Structure 1
Amino acid sequence: MLVRIVRTALAAGRHFSTETVAKTTTSANASSGGRDTLGRRLLSLVYPKLSAVIAINKWKEEGHTVRKYELNRIVRELRKLKRFKHALEICEWMKIQPDMKLLPGDYAIHLDLIAKIRGVASAEKFFVDLPEKMRGQAACSALLHTYVQNKLSAKAEALMKKMKESGLVKNCLPYNHMLSLYISDGELTKVPEVIQELKNNTSPDVVTFNLWLTACASENDVESAEKVFLELKRAKIVPDWVTFSVLTNLYIKEELLDKAASTMKEMEKRISRRDRVAYSSLISLHTNVGDKDGVKRIWKKAKSTFNRMNDSEYTCMISSLLKLEDFKEAQDLYTEWESVSGTGDSRVPNLILAAYINKNEMDGAEKFYNRIVERGIKPSYTTWELLTWGYLKKKEMDKVLDSFLKALGSVKKWDPDDKMVKEVFEILEEEGNTEGAEQLLFTLKKAGHISTEIYNMLLRTYVKAGKMPLIVAERMASDKVELDEETQRLIKLTSKMCISEVSSNVC
């Protein structure tokens, strides 16, 4: 969480809700006296399938002038709103205009957008195809950022080396990218070396110090973190809310609650409308120290600051209330979310569903699930996974298998949950439920998750039932699964038992 917060400072912009999009557009309209502007038209293209190029060309056809500085401003706004496709379309349109003189920074932004929309390989090709004079510090830093975001350590290090050799490391940004990479990868031993090299060649900024503090926090090193903070103050760099968020997390982890309370107060002084994500971070910190009043106060402050709260903010607050064991208030807040959000994001109701299941209230969980469906919210893999675990606790195996099958059917590629598979098989074995075991094996086979251990769990279920499965060895050979000593032992053991009708039917 801490690395993600700090890394946001290195990214192109931050996320705003749909309401913010509307507000941004309204503000632009107000500043232009409600006039029709190119910015207004482009910012109103909410749906990705709509074309920014068509909107620009239409503007020109109507006799209006298209100015580079205006398009640059619009691209900045679109990047803040994470509307990368339209931002890229504008950059590509600008690139082919003979009367627009693009600067190195324009190409750097273009490269970053290509990486986000089309991937690393396309960004690399764009970089190679650039005129040599445009492959300078800005473009190299953008490519380095792409490598860091995609955790391509070898490529990032190779590019950083070339930048140093070419004299293109003129500020702390490339070093900050490398710090972010090493912290994210857990290579904390490389952090001091990068910091020292940075100091030798340029000056650190607040992001540098925040990353350095994050590295200290990752090692639970309070003493080092406090030394870094003192160095920040000696350098006369103004700490931001992230600085105090990192320190607060560390103090809470080390149970230094008086210090945590102090840094939280400093953090709250520094949050503003521009730092929307800071409100959720502060709510989580108050939750972690069990300060329910603080949680409610910050939530109230956030609601008075912004017209509407977005899904991630409701998710944060509902999670906090559940962690503070205020289930009733969490339910009430979920009802509020239902009334104001039209996203249908199942991650929000999944929080309440999980709470019912953790409380072993499966009747309540089922009723709530029905409510989700009635509201038109499509259940996700997590929804079905939660229900599977809930039914497992109750040993309602028909419902377990049904939910598990639906969970697998809700994803294109399943990331196997071996613990769940093992627990389902253990209960089936305990009951001697060979029909359920065969159904589970068939479901796992369809999901591409079949192994020697899964066949052994199937065979143990037959042993418990006192039945003999047919042609297990042949079935395993067909599935390209090897037999081990345990398989041989179980097959030998079941060969003395009566033939199973289930196995006969399956074969």
Structure 2
Amino acid sequence: MWALRRLPKPLKDTRISIEASYAASAQLQTSSYFIEETGTAFGSCQTISDKGLSLLRFYHSRHASTNSPDRRCGLSSQAGAESSEEEDDFEDGFSELETPANAETKGDHIVKDETEDGLDSDKELSGDIEETASNELELLETETDVRDKKSSFRRTTSELFKAIISAPGISIYKALDKWVEEGNSISRTEVSSAMLNLRKRRMYGRALQLSEWLEVKKQLDFVERDYASRVDLIAKVHGLQKAEDYIQAIPKSSRGEVIYRTLLANCVTSNHLKKAEEVFNKMKDLEFPITAFACNQLLLLYKRLDKKKIADVLLLMEKENVKPSPFTYRVLIDTKGLCNDTSGMDQIVETMKAEGVQPDIHTLSILAKHYASAGLAEKAEEVLKALEGDDIKQNRRGCRFLLPLYAELGKVDEVERIWKVCESKPFFEEYLAAIEAWGKLGQIEKSEAVFDRLLATSKKLPAKYYTKLLKVYSDHKMLQKGKDLVKQMADNGCQIGPLTWDALVKLYVEAGEVEKADSVLQKACQKKEIKPLFTSFMVVMEQYAKRGDIHNTEKMFHRMRQAGYVARVRQFQSLVEAYINAKAPAYGIRERMKADNIFPNRYLGAQLAQVDAFRRTSVSDLLE
């Protein structure tokens, strides 16, 4: 089925190796299975071949020896592997949904090559699956269980949840004690409902306190899923290391595969390449079965950080006879789309159908997005018609995808038509899609009208609904309207978080007020609860770099480190650009990269040559 190359060694010997050495040259070797790098500045995206007998076929590198006695399946973080990386939007990132957030943790990432932010693409992928509300359940339970419980939670309101969110101060323990003293009973359904709602609102600290209280007070008999939920919450609140430490305290009888796949999912959420590979190896050492979930986590991580390793994961899946899930195909299609390889996308879809898996609404939306981005309007429209189905009124789930995608194609009439289907009683996601769509079409008044109608539906909307309109203002450089909207958010009691900061920072940058954007970001950094997005820092840093402002570019680089973001190639590219534009040598820049375990891609290598204070030129040779 897979038509991938065979390995000479049994898979029980296969490990994800963590090897790192520094290579200063811009021309790096590459990992075992890949297509040769093209001449683009940001490296090759041609990991996934267009030619395959079944799912994919990978070309072998010219330097990899097939008869080496020590050769293994290389899901390795080798110095020789170039890669590309995108930053995710701030999503919840825990679940079968397999779409992590852009929360970084400190660690030894080995990141060499990057494309654009990747926000739109990864956000599309994350939006494909039912979002944050059911994240915990989707990871820990079967699809049927999830559907039944989600339906149950919609019908009932958790009184326990109300008691938790009404608790004053940081601690909720007294509120929980009081709730029990008043004669309320604790049932698993009540707890699950409360947890679900806390996660939906990103109230991870309170969810963790609830979990701790339940165990200390012995209100529930903890099973593996309860421990896994705790691992996830600890990782979100206190970081991966604390989550790992907690795993050692879990009874051995409950320390199963679900525990470790939860940790793996959080490593991927954190874009922590080394730690994710270590956890995957640990699962193999413990002889847990290799599942599509675990492999999909790696695929998603490598899609961001090292596309060439996707081949190795697929080879491992072939050897272990792990059947690709729809999400597997979706990641591969999205990876091809990010590389503007539409013919490759088509081939994967053909293979998907041949395996009896029909593209669902989420897959179709990804295809349409990439066709539109590639300028293939007719193919995009064809896919959108398939997504729409015979009767869009009976297929309302597609409206939230169709609105922004038709707007991407500039189809005003189609956006109007789809919105009329929703207009009588829109879902929240349809409101957001309409705000975005009208914004893309430049019809700001219609975006505002949809937002005003959305605002009238609830006394207190979450910040993400405001952020959608704020992004529209940012895209159209409407600074004053953006300021007024943020003030409205504050007046309405919205919690201002990373998404709002990001939109506000970009709003100021688009308006040419970089120093004000810097000030907003600095104030956001002072809030210890949660850090700004990676892209918020980068958009300011890149503006300073364009000016040749070395001092402020270095300052942003330092702030990112203080916020907990490890160094990446993109940061060094901006940093070196500042030195280039200032016409100043960058002393010690290679040593700094080496210390951060960063390997230059072709583009960065060319930049480094320009700021090398000791480089030899034809003029310097004459003057000696």
Partner of 1:4: 123
Report the RMSD for the aligned CA atoms in angstroms.
Answer: 4.8
Give the paired residue count.
410
Q: Return the letter of the residue paired with 1:200.
A: K
Instruction: Say whether the 8 Å CA contact 1:147–1:153 is kept in structure 2.
Output: yes
User: What are the ranges of 5 or more consecutive residues in structure 1 without an aligned counterpart?
Assistant: 17-26, 359-364, 393-399, 427-440, 458-484, 486-507
- Of the three residues 284, 305, 316, the one matched with 1:197 is 316
Distance change (3 Å), C-alpha of 1:127 and 1:380: closer
Q: Does 2:335 align with 1:215?
A: yes
**Counterpart pick for 1:103 among 211, 220, 223:** 223
Q: How does 1:17-36 map to 2 (within 5 A)?
A: none
SS at match of 1:237: coil
Partner residue of 1:13 out of 126, 132, 136? 132
Match of 1:130 among 222, 241, 250: 250
Contact persistence 2:412–2:441 (CA under 8 A): yes
Q: Give the whole-Å Cα distance in 2 for the aligned partners of 1:348 and 1:250.
A: 22
- 5+ long unaligned stretches in structure 2: 1-119, 136-150, 492-499, 527-535, 560-577, 583-612, 614-624
- The C-alpha deviation readout for 1:338-387, integer Å capped at 9, x for no partner, is 666755957456456546647xxxxxx65x47855885758968658756
Offset of residue 124 of structure 1: 1.4
Q: Does residue 329 in structure 1 map to residue 446 in structure 2?
A: yes
Letter in 1 for 2:329: F
Distance 1:199 1:401 in 2: 50
Answering whether residue 350 of structure 2 is matched by residue 230 of structure 1, we say yes
What is the identity, as a one-letter code, of the residue corresponding to 2:312?
E
Tell me the equivalent position of 2:416.
296
Query: C-alpha separation between the residues in 2 aligned to 1:237 and 1:224?
Result: 17
Match of 1:115 among 215, 235, 238: 235
Go from structure 1 to structure 2 and tell me whether the alpha carbon gap of 1:324 and 1:85 turns closer, same or farther (over 3 Å shift).
same
Q: 2:438 corresponds to which letter in structure 1?
A: L
Q: Secondary structure at the match of 2:324?
A: coil
SS in 1 for 2:327: helix
**Equivalent in 251, 269, 279 of residue 159 of structure 1:** 279
1:230–1:6: structure 2 CA closer, same or farther, 3 Å change rule? Answer: same
Could you say which structure has the higher helix fraction? 1
Contact map agreement 1:42 1:55 (CA 8 A) in 2: no
**1:332–1:425 distance in 2 versus 1, CA, 3 Å:** farther
| Structure 2 counterpart of 1:292, one-letter code | V
Return the offset for 1:153: 0.5
CA distance in 2, matches of 1:43, 1:289: 44
Classify the secondary structure of the residue corresponding to 2:221. Answer: coil
Distance change >3 Å, CA 252–CA 5, structure 1 → 2: closer
Alpha carbons 2:128, 2:363 under 8 Å: kept: no
Distance 1:188 1:105, change over 3 A: same
CA distance in structure 2 between the aligned counterparts of 1:88 and 1:11, rounded to whole angstroms: 23
> Which amino acid in structure 1 is aligned with residue 307 of structure 2?
L
Q: Contact 1:284–1:316 (CA<8 Å) still a contact in 2?
A: yes
Counterpart Cα distance in 2 of 1:96 and 1:271: 53
Higher relative contact order, chain-length normalized (CA < 8 Å, sep 6+): 2
Give the SS at the match of 2:442.
coil
Relative to structure 1, the CA distance from residue 220 to residue 279 in structure 2 (aligned partners, 3 Å threshold; closer, same or farther) is: same
SS in 2 for 1:138: helix
User: Cα 1:370–1:69, aligned 2, differ >3 Å: closer, same or farther?
Assistant: closer
Is the CA contact (8 Å cut-off) linking 1:105 and 1:138 kept in structure 2?
Answer: yes
Q: Do structure 1's residue 84 and structure 2's residue 201 form an aligned pair?
A: no
Residues of 2 paired with 1:319 and 1:304: CA distance? 19
Cα distance change, pair 236–29 in 1 and its aligned pair in 2 (3 A): closer
Q: Please say which of residues 62-71 and 119-128 is displaced more in the overlay.
A: 62-71
Cα distance, 1:322 vs structure 2: 3.4
Residues in 2 aligned to 1:240 and 1:127: alpha-carbon distance in whole angstroms: 37
Q: What's the CA shift string for 1:170-189, capped at 9, x where partnerless? A: 4211101101100021x111
Distance (whole Å) between structure 1 residues aligned to residue 346 and residue 517 of structure 2 = 49
Equivalent in the alignment of 1:182 = 302
Q: CA distance change for structure 1 residues 139 and 272 in 2, over 3 Å: closer, same or farther?
A: farther
Alignment deviations for residues 95-145 of structure 1 (CA, whole Å, 9 cap, x no partner): 234474322222111111111122222211111222223222010100111
Deviation at 1:150, TM superposition (A): 0.6
Give, in whole Å, the separation in 2 of the partners of 1:381 and 1:220.
27
1:277-326 deviation line (CA, Å, top 9, x unaligned): 9654432211111111222333344454546x47xx65653443233232
Deviations 1:3-39 (A, max 9, x none): 33435678983489xxxxxxxxxx979957xxxx8x3
Cα 1:261–1:15 shift into 2, 3 Å: farther
Q: What is the letter of the counterpart of residue 244 of structure 1?
A: L
Paired letter, 1:2 = S
- Measure the CA separation in 1 of the matches of 2:486 and 2:256: 54
Query: What are the superposed Cα offsets for residues 242-295 of structure 1, whole Å, 9 maximum, x if unpaired?
Result: 21112112222333333222322333459999x999654432211111111222
Equivalent residues of 1:408, 1:447 under 8 A apart: no
Name the CA distance, whole Å, in 2 between partners of 1:101 and 1:55.
21
The one-letter amino acid paired with 1:194 is V
The one-letter amino acid of 1:173's match is F
Is the contact between residue 241 and residue 271 of structure 1 (CA under 8 Å) also seen in structure 2? no
Q: How does 1:370-449 map to 2 (within 5 A)?
A: 375=488, 386=507, 390=511, 410-412=523-525, 415=537, 417=540, 420=543
Aligned counterpart, 1:490: none
Distance 1:106 1:270 in 2: 43
> Cα–Cα, structure 1 residues 145 and 305, in superposed 2: closer, same or farther, change >3 Å?
farther
**Alpha carbons 1:29, 1:40 under 8 Å: kept:** no
> Offset of 1:70 from its aligned partner?
4.0
What is the one-letter code of the residue matched to 2:160?
R
1:482 matched to which residue of 2?
none
Q: Write the letter of the residue equivalent to 2:313.
A: V
Deviation at 1:223, TM superposition (A): 2.7
Q: Check if 1:260 corresponds to 2:374.
A: no
* Secondary structure of residue in 2 paired with 1:204: coil
- Which residue number corresponds to residue 497 of structure 2? none
Residue 283 of structure 1: SS of its match in structure 2? helix
Q: In the aligned structure 1, how far is the partner of 2:308 from the partner of 2:474?
A: 39
CA distance in 2, matches of 1:446, 1:192: 36
Separation in structure 2 between the aligned mates of residue 242 and residue 121 of structure 1, nearest angstrom: 34
Amino acid at match of 1:180: L
Is 1:246 matched with 2:360?
A: no
Which of these two proteins has the greater Rg computed from alpha carbons? 1
Of 143, 151, 154, the residue aligned with 2:263 is 143
**Alignment TM-score, normalising by the size of structure 1:** 0.64
Q: Take 1:151 and 1:373, find their aligned partners in 2: how far apart are those partners? A: 30
Equivalent position of 2:572 in the other structure: none
Q: 2:159 aligns with which of 19, 40, 43?
A: 40
Tell me the residue number matched to 2:588: none
Counterpart position of 1:498: none
Which residue is 1:478 aligned to? none
Letter in 2 for 1:198: M
> Counterparts in 2 of 1:314-325, with a 5 A limit?
316-325=433-442
Q: Identify if the C-alpha distance between structure 1 residues 64 and 235 changes in structure 2 by more than 3 Å, giving closer, same or farther.
A: same
- Give me the whole-angstrom Cα distance separating, in 2, the residues matched to 1:290 and 1:372: 26
